[in-house]
Amino acid sequence: MVPSSIKSLVFLAVAGLVNLVAAAPVSAQGTVRRHLVYFRDKAGSPYSVAQPQEFLSARSVARRNRQGIAVLPRDLPVNPAYVAQVRGVAGTQIHYTSRWFNAAVVSCDSATLVRVMALAPVRSAATLNRSFRDVSPTAAPTQVPPAAARGTLATRAQYGPAYRQNEQIGALAMHDAGFRGEGMQIAVFDAGFPGVDQISALQPLFQEQRLAGTRNFVDGGTSVFLRSGHGTNCLSAMAANESGKYIGSAPKATYHLCITEDVSSEHPIEEANWLAAAEYADSVGVDIISSSLGYTTFDSPSVSYTYADMNGRTAISSRAATIAAHVGILVVNAAGNEGSSSWRYISAPADADSIMSVGAVDSLGNHASFSSFGPTSDGRIKPTLMAMGRAAAVLSPNGAAYRGNGTSFACPILAGMAAGFWQANPTLTAQQVITALRNTASQANTPSPALGYGIPNFVTAYNALNPNAPLSSKNNKDLDGDALSLFPNPTGDGAVTLALPSVLRGKPLRVRVLDARGAVVATQQVAATASSTAGLQLGRLAKGNYTCEVSTRDARRTVKFTQQ
């Protein structure tokens, strides 16, 4: 599939993605092509599910543990002895392996492939030479005039052209409540990220050390500030943070950037790249995958998908996305831009089960004509949710803001809100996050093939889960302008004082302190007081950034502070 605005949605099946390409003919002798080589088993592996720390990061294991997800044999790496046997065949090059599909992507010619197939550990192989044809009705983002100003001018001035797309899903109130993605990790799969290291609105990623990893699965290595600017567009919708110019939906999250798509190629190797990137995201402990990619039609001699294949079990990318969801990652994927084309329906991997597939609406909440329709071929409701994808504001590689069309943009806008929502409700599982947003969205009771469950809203979903400490639907400040504050800030190990807005005075208070990951590290009950201040004894906290949440039965306020 192509990034909703460029050819990028093609996915290649890596290590285990071979099923999708199994029908492709073997390459002619002498011509080196990439093949997906499956192994028979994981027998004799030096790895064990009892010691996951040998192949998964502590953060990855912790994500599973929080959600009650066991490490399974499918998580074990490919047996290195099997890989060595393939590598020992002259004329082969192994690009990467897949734990989940017990396979490897291997470059060789057809004669060499015959020798590889003769190895005892090898079960089967398929040539990854199917081509991709772009059928997107929006081949490139379309620049349009800015929408007429609405809402609070000061807020609009801070967020710039990103104001409405954040407001529509409640992200403005989410940010005011103190949830901007702190401690959450998001992997972005796309076709390139040129300019990210230069754009002023993205410099906080580097200054605050929130760019945790980069991987280039097309060229190899870790260089990602190159190739297509589509990834830059999508990243900016979440990560940009420059007051007065542009603020994205998760401006304080931590990011991993992965190039999986080669816009100059028309082969499904990109699907394998997607799988490899998903396994990388799993291994480093990513919470959310934001992927504005998809696949439908391929050039001859490759066999194109049909609508019947959009069942969540056929496409390589869909199978990979489903496993990513099953290991506790919240997978957010663009629904596709096929709504006005002969294809019409969602693309892969948006058809995957247990993921959030995102369609596009305009600023008024109307279905964008290009946004792909559901349901899946087996009758499941898709898209899952909607966000602004018509005339959505993004940043170009030169840092300029413009408006474009595509579910590619709706996807990261909503992924960023989901990150803040999960941060605000850290005990939820990934599946519970999807359920909470879906069950409180605008069409929760009447889902449709065009809009799915509709447009979610952070405040509505949060209040449904926290009825005793609801958020204001407007913002986190009193109508008279008072806000909760804490001093001294930064704090030490002694007492601290809360400066209480009028809405919190004269009522018993519940105080919670959350760390950057959203975990509660301290709680305290404070007796009702008519005073404008209240003292706290927070105990000994580790150095770092924290959120202090103060609530009554009918009001809630938060304030950020730093422990030195």
Which residues are catalytic, by number?
A: 190, 230, 408
Q: Which residues contact 123 (CB under 8 A, 6 or more apart)?
A: 38, 39, 40
Q: Is the peptide bond before 375 cis (omega within 30 degrees of 0)?
A: yes
**What number of CA atoms fall less than 13 Å from residue 388's CA on the CB side?**
29
Q: How far is CA 214 from CA 46, 192, 219, 361, 554, in A?
A: 28, 11, 12, 31, 44
Nearest residue to 418 via CA among 250, 258, 178:
250
CA pair distance 87, 94, nearest whole angstrom: 7
Alpha carbon 131 to its chain's center: 26
Angle at which helices 407-424 and 230-239 cross, to 10°: 30
Residue 148: half-sphere exposure toward Cβ, Cα within 13 Å: 1
- Nearest to residue 332, comparing CAs of 256, 433, 246, 192? 433
Q: Is the CB of residue 283 less than 8 Å from the CB of residue 216? A: no
Q: Quote the CA–CA distance of 346 and 295 in Å, as a whole number.
A: 9
What is d(CA 389, CA 341) in angstroms, rounded to the nearest whole number? 17
* Contact status, residue 134 vs residue 141, Cβ threshold 8 Å: no
**145 DSSP 8-state letter:** P
DSSP string over 10-54 = -----TT-GGGGTTSPPPPTT--EEEEEEES--TT-S--TT-GGG
- Grouping H, G, I as helix, E, B as strand and the rest as coil, residue 61 is helix
* Distant-in-sequence, close-in-space partners of 544: CB < 8 Å, separation ≥ 6: 515, 516, 562, 563
Instruction: For residue 213, give the amino acid letter.
Output: G
Q: Compute how many other C-beta atoms are within 10 angstroms of the C-beta atom of residue 16.
A: 28
563 phi/psi in degrees, rounded to 5: -95, 125
Q: What is the distance between the alpha carbons of residues 83 and 87, in angstroms, rounded to a whole number?
A: 6
User: Residue 190 in 3-state DSSP?
Assistant: strand
CA 240/CA 253 separation, integer angstroms: 10
